[in-house]
Structure 1
Amino acid sequence: MVALTRTLSPALAGERLGAVLMAGLLGLGLLFVSGFAPTVALHNAAHDWRHTHNFPCH
């Protein structure tokens, strides 16, 4: 029986690393922005999003 091994080419490994780094930076950015934003600004953003997507909020 032949064992199949999966190897990544250097180009694919670099793309995967880039995607992981970008996702991490985006996540940290969202945490930073939401952590330091005033509560009213977050409420208004969520409220506007709900109206944009036709969800009732009142």
Structure 2
Amino acid sequence: MKTHKSIEIAKRQMDLLSRVRIIPNYACTVMNLFSKVVVAQGGEVVGEWAVDARGRVQ
């Protein structure tokens, strides 16, 4: 398996169910696997976008 990105976790302990924000550097290969994208700004959800390419892999 090829690794596309690695991350470093802060030295503090994380609790089970802690929130982790992941910002992908690209998402084109997985967007069609989801029906919607949740849009957030400043830690608040500000909308949802429909994914028109849902299920269109050939």
Shorter-chain TM-score above 0.5: no
Q: Which has the larger radius of gyration?
A: 1
* Higher RCO (CA 8 Å, separation ≥ 6 residues): 2
Which protein is richer in helix relative to its size? Answer: 1
